[in-house]
Amino acid sequence: MAFLEARDLVVEYATRRGPVRALDEASLEVAAGEVVGVVGESGSGKSTIGVALARLLPGNARVSSGDVLVGGRSVLAMGDEELRALRRDTLGFVFQDPIGTLDPTARIGRQLGWMIGGKPGDRELVEHLERVRLPDPERTLRAFPHQLSGGMAQRVSIALALARAPQAVIADEPTASLDASVRSEILELLVSLTREAGTALMLMSHDLRAVRRFCTRVAVVYGGRVVETAPAQELFSSPQHPYTRALLDAAPGAEAPGETLRPIAGIPPVLHGAFRGCAFVGRCACAVEACSVERPVVHSDDHDVLCHLAPVKEKAA
Ligand SMILES: Nc1ncnc2c1ncn2[C@@H]1O[C@H](COP(=O)(O)OP(=O)(O)OP(=O)(O)O)[C@@H](O)[C@H]1O
Ligand SMILES: [Mg+2]
């Protein structure tokens, strides 16, 4: 059963150039304990899904339709108290820029204390930092965020995200701003700590190699929709959606020896309202007439593909 769920979610941002439809009936599920990678080009809507799950969308955003559920409860229908508890106890967040997300005016120990609540003793605070394998936890507790390296600050952010033993963590490109040498260590830490605790992890990333290595399932987002979702192994070995195939082909490492990278031709769409067809139609080499006028819908058990050309599978009873 899904622990996190976006169901046919439509989110629009008001901008000076009119509405931008960031999510266009996006559906995504993360089961308890699962590690789900969310991939897709810049602007496809990954971060919007993440913040919508905790109703943390900015003021110019509006959920036009659909629903968001955590533990089976509609987040959109929650009152203030329930929403506060959801953000504080049930969900943890790790963002791209760790130093920017920490309070610059407070020492790490204080920030960790706020997160844990009550009056944690020094020993307890140290234990939280030891868990994220910070080499000198006592010193880190006394430090201000600007005194930490990016990698250390991200370890602190992970400690903060896990401090209240959340049931799910949403990590939005948690290593994108870090030095390449520490990226895989930090990701490994996040994945191993969440796995140990049985915490669901939703990982937005541009790093397909990392997603392949760490995720149990992958959701591919394009034009505000999840166009394909499958167990990670299956998605990488037999991608079905033409966009997924193009995305995998364009990833560094996918090129044959001596060959250059094959970027996806064209640019992703910015949707301004409801769209009748498949958003990938303009860039798809296999498009047929129906792709411009009909929304592809496919139901299946564990490998969903929203493409007119994909074999239609019936939902398992
Ligand atoms: N606060 C905002 N105001 C207006 N438009 C926004 C806002 N945030 C996002 N958008 C737009 O919504 C769409 C989806 O953005 P989102 O940040 O969710 O994509 P993303 O997949 O996370 O991209 P990236 O990989 O660059 O992080 C984009 O067209 C983006 O420009
Ligand atoms: Mg993003």
- pLDDT tens-place string over residues 179-231: 988 999 999 999 999 999 999 999 999 999 999 999 999 999 999 999 999 99
b/e 275-301 (16+ beta carbons within 10 angstroms → b)? bebbbbbbbbeebeeebeeebbebebe
> Looking at residue 14, what DSSP letter applies?
E
Mean pLDDT score across all residues of the chain = 93
Tell me how far the alpha carbon of residue 156 lies from the centroid of ligand 2, in angstroms. 21
> Residue 119: which residues within 8 A CB-CB, separation 6 or more?
113
Which residue's CA lies nearest to atom 7 of ligand 1? 13
From CA 41, how far away is CA 264, in angstroms rounded?
Answer: 10
Tokens found for residue 86: 């959801």
Cβ–ligand 1 distance for 229 under 6 Å, the answer no
Residue 314 has a pLDDT of 53
Taken in order 173, 177, 183, 189, the sign of the CA dihedral is negative
- In the chain, the domains with their CATH numbers are 2-105+144-305 (3.40.50.300)
Cβ–ligand 1 distance for 58 under 6 Å, the answer yes
Cβ–ligand 1 distance for 92 under 6 Å, the answer no
Q: Which atom of ligand 1 is nearest to the CA of 45?
A: 18
Q: Which atom of ligand 1 is nearest to the CA of 270?
A: 29
Residue 14, pLDDT > 60, answer: yes
Provide, rounded to the nearest whole percent, the portion of the chain with pLDDT above 70: 96
Q: Which atom of ligand 1 is nearest to the CA of 271?
A: 29
**Probe ligand 1: pick from 12, 44, 227, max atoms within 8 Å of CB?**
44
Least confident of 54-63, 184-193, 304-313: 304-313
Q: Report pLDDT digits (tens) over 122-174.
A: 999 999 999 999 999 999 999 999 999 999 999 999 999 999 999 999 999 99
pTM, 2 dp: 0.95
Tell me how far the alpha carbon of residue 43 lies from the centroid of ligand 2, in angstroms. 7
Residue 54, pLDDT > 60, answer: yes
Residue 317 has a pLDDT of 46
Cβ–ligand 1 distance for 205 under 6 Å, the answer no
Q: Kindly report the backbone phi and psi dihedral angles of residue 287, in degrees, each rounded to the nearest multiple of 5, phi listed first.
A: -60, 140
27 pLDDT tier (thresholds 50, 70, 90): very high
Q: Which atom of ligand 1 is nearest to the CA of 47?
A: 22
Cβ–ligand 1 distance for 45 under 6 Å, the answer yes
Residue 223 has a pLDDT of 95
Tell me how far the alpha carbon of residue 10 lies from the centroid of ligand 1, in angstroms. 13
**Could you give the angle at the alpha carbon of 33 between the alpha carbons of 31 and 39, nearest 5°?**
65
Strand, coil or helix: 290:
helix
Cβ–ligand 1 distance for 19 under 6 Å, the answer no
**Probe ligand 1: pick from 47, 93, 222, 271, max atoms within 8 Å of CB?**
47
248 burial level (CB within 10 Å; 0-12, 13-18, 19+): middle
Residue 315, pLDDT > 60, answer: no
Tokens found for residue 264: 């996806």
Torsional class of 167: left (φ above 0), alpha (ψ -120 to 50), beta (otherwise): alpha
From CA 1, how far away is CA 121, in angstroms rounded?
Answer: 38
From CA 297, how far away is CA 51, in angstroms rounded?
Answer: 25
> Looking at residue 274, what DSSP letter applies?
-
Quote the longest CA-to-CA distance of the chain.
Answer: 66
301 pLDDT tier (thresholds 50, 70, 90): confident
Which residue's CA lies nearest to atom 31 of ligand 1? 43
Strand, coil or helix: 127:
helix
Identity at 291, one-letter amino acid code: C
> Looking at residue 283, what DSSP letter applies?
G
Least confident of 99-103, 185-189, 193-197, 300-304: 300-304
Helix axes 150-162, 108-116, angle to 10 degrees: 20
